[in-house]
Chain A
Amino acid sequence: MSLLELDAVEARYGPVQALHGITLEVAEGEVVAVLGANGAGKTTTLRAISGTVRRSGHIRFAGKPLRGGPEAVARAGIAHVPEGRGTFTELTVHENLRLGAYTRRERSVRADVDRVSEWFPWLHERAGQQAGTLSGGEQQMLAVARALMARPKLLLLDEPSLGLAPMVVREIFRIVRELNEREGLTVLVVEQDARIALRTAARAYVLEVGRVALAGPSEELQENESVRRSYLGY
């Protein structure tokens, strides 16, 4: 059963239409990638889901229509890690994690910090440190950890590789893959780095100017002539 369904979703920034009818779905327990060039509408697709941009069309999540702003979407069980880290830089690491669990009951927060810290062991030692003083890679991992604190049904990841060293990027995608395999976490990831995204995701959508141009299993797309030329560079 699909967990998330987008049907002819449109979105606009003022007079500029960014999405011209996106249709996609994500099944429970799946990692799905959204690829495309700059300005293709990848980030806007995630924003349309989380309600941070004005949208129309139909979005269904866990069998129900998904409506309202980001507060409501977060409560429905979707955690969005936005482009460019997405941590509260002025707050401490621990406070960032506590905020991640904001929509949940306070009682289990401590247990959840421990659970999440298994994936990112350094979080414990840095608990009192201001998030803004972490390195870029650590901030990205903190953003993912914070999202996990919500025990989301669906994780939206926007360009986790942005501005990070290749080694850090591989580490982040390794963790995403393991979270999916071991905890069954469903992930929709937007990524410029098509190579690593296709290696992590089972399926992918390729966007071009606000429309789905191609879709299919990752292996197929890796073999696809135009995907190879445009996004994989060989």
Chain B
Amino acid sequence: MADFLQQVVAGLASGSIYAALALALVLIHRATGVINFAQGEMATLSTYIAWTLTTNHGWGYWPAFAFTLAVSFLGGAGVHQAIIRPNEKGSLLRVVIVTIGLLIFVNGLVTLIWGGEVRAVQSPFPAGTTEIAGVAITTADIGTIAVVLATVAALWALFQYTKLGLAMRAAAVNPAEARLVGVRVTWMLSLGWGLAAALGAVAGMLAAPSVFLDPNLMAALLIYAFAAAVLGGIDSPVGAVVGGLTLGVGLNLIGTYVDFVGADLRLPVALLVILVVLLVKPTGIFGKAEVRRV
């Protein structure tokens, strides 16, 4: 039983990382109707920036974390203004292809600057375990879950309680109407891209200590995040978080207790989740069916 609970908590920790990246995908999809395929690579770039600051410039982990969040936010907003916005007039497919181009570009850029070798990243959390109700939980897992939950709570408060957050929601659900009440919709979309990039950075920086840092850090994580977002409902922020945690726990339990899956076949299981959800309930757990008036 203790072993089972340990696996659940470990699943929650990796699941919270999926949730952060899934939430980034959902934020952008809600606002613009496209999946940002470069979300993972942008997060990889952010993670390298944090890594460089801590290993080469002697920064502490948390100052580097905060600085990277700020840079990622500005970078995300800048990408929207400079690259996405000029391509928004026209079909959505065009924007999707632009994000795929961005994925390849950022991946190349990271390899060019930092090289392809695999680097170890120090965990910000002390090694060791804490015993809670007879279950030994690693400090890193607790820390990871706490950081993601705090990030999600901060975002939720922004959207729920501030004028800016309300304007961002309005711009996402009904841009034409939002402009009529004076909301500068394009700015709101840029802000959304910035927040998504910052969320991705959180996911990348938390994931790096356990999976090592290389230019393809986020390739698999992005697929887990897709699965989480699809599972929860691609337009539902709550769904992204619940989907991420569910997927994390589920994959960890399957990996541990189903022999033939092990650690290596988790990725195909995530792909299977995407496939099954899209076949059985395309709107996900929390999604609403889109009604189009013709």
Interface string of A68-89 (1 = CB under 8 A from B): 0111001100011010001111
Q: Are A82 and B177 in contact (CB under 8 A)?
A: yes
Is chain B's binding surface mostly helix, strand, loop or mixed?
helix
Instruction: Enumerate chain A residues within 8 angstroms of B182, measured Cβ to Cβ.
Output: 70-71, 74-75, 102-103, 150
CA distance A50 to B183 in the complex (A): 13
Q: Are B176 and A88 in contact (CB under 8 A)?
A: no
CA distance A146 to B167 in the complex (A): 14
Interface string of A87-101 (1 = CB under 8 A from B): 111110001001110
Given contacts A95-B166, A98-B163, A98-B166, contact A103 B181 (CB under 8 A): yes
B174 adjacent to chain A (CB < 8 Å) = yes
CA distance A52 to B178 in the complex (A): 12
Count of A interface residues, CB-CB < 8 Å: 25
B169 adjacent to chain A (CB < 8 Å) = yes
Q: Among the listed B169, B174, B179, which residue makes an inter-chain contact with A71, where contact means beta carbons less than 8 Å apart?
A: B179
CA distance A75 to B180 in the complex (A): 10
Q: Are A88 and B177 in contact (CB under 8 A)?
A: yes
B170 adjacent to chain A (CB < 8 Å) = yes
B184 adjacent to chain A (CB < 8 Å) = yes
CA distance A150 to B184 in the complex (A): 16
CA distance A75 to B169 in the complex (A): 20
**In the complex, how many angstroms separate the beta carbon of B176 from the nearest chain A beta carbon?**
7
Q: Among the listed A89, A100, A106, which residue makes an inter-chain contact with B181, where contact means beta carbons less than 8 Å apart?
A: A100
Instruction: Enumerate chain A residues within 8 angstroms of B183, measured Cβ to Cβ.
Output: 71, 99, 102
Q: Are B173 and A99 in contact (CB under 8 A)?
A: no
Q: Among the listed A75, A86, A95, A98, which residue makes an inter-chain contact with B177, where contact means beta carbons less than 8 Å apart?
A: A86
Instruction: Enumerate chain A residues within 8 angstroms of B180, measured Cβ to Cβ.
Output: 50, 52, 70, 74, 79-80, 82, 86
Interface string of B181-201 (1 = CB under 8 A from A): 111110000000000000000
CB-based nearest B residue for A109: B163
Most interface-central of A52, A71, A87, A146 (chain B CB within 10 A) = A71
CB-based nearest A residue for B167: A102
CA distance A179 to B169 in the complex (A): 30
CB-based nearest A residue for B186: A71
CA distance A88 to B185 in the complex (A): 14
**In the complex, how many angstroms separate the beta carbon of B288 from the nearest chain A beta carbon?**
9
Q: Are B166 and A52 in contact (CB under 8 A)?
A: no
**In the complex, how many angstroms separate the beta carbon of A136 from the nearest chain B beta carbon?**
14
Q: Are B163 and A91 in contact (CB under 8 A)?
A: no
CB-based nearest A residue for B162: A106
Q: Are B179 and A88 in contact (CB under 8 A)?
A: no
Q: Are A102 and B181 in contact (CB under 8 A)?
A: yes
CA distance A103 to B179 in the complex (A): 11
Instruction: Enumerate chain A residues within 8 angstroms of B169, measured Cβ to Cβ.
Output: 91, 95
Instruction: Enumerate chain B residues within 8 angstroms of A89, measured Cβ to Cβ.
Output: 173-174
**In the complex, how many angstroms separate the beta carbon of A67 from the nearest chain B beta carbon?**
15
Interface string of A153-170 (1 = CB under 8 A from B): 000000000000000000
CA distance A164 to B281 in the complex (A): 36
**In the complex, how many angstroms separate the beta carbon of A111 from the nearest chain B beta carbon?**
16
**In the complex, how many angstroms separate the beta carbon of B172 from the nearest chain A beta carbon?**
9
Q: List 5 A-B contacts (CB under 8 A).
A: A70-B180, A74-B180, A90-B173, A90-B174, A98-B163
Apart from A88-B177, A90-B174, A91-B166, what are 4 other A-B pairs with CB-CB below 8 Å? A69-B179, A86-B180, A99-B178, A103-B181
Q: Interface of A with B (CB < 8 Å)?
A: 50, 52, 69-71, 74-75, 79-80, 82, 86-91, 95, 98-100, 102-103, 106, 146, 150
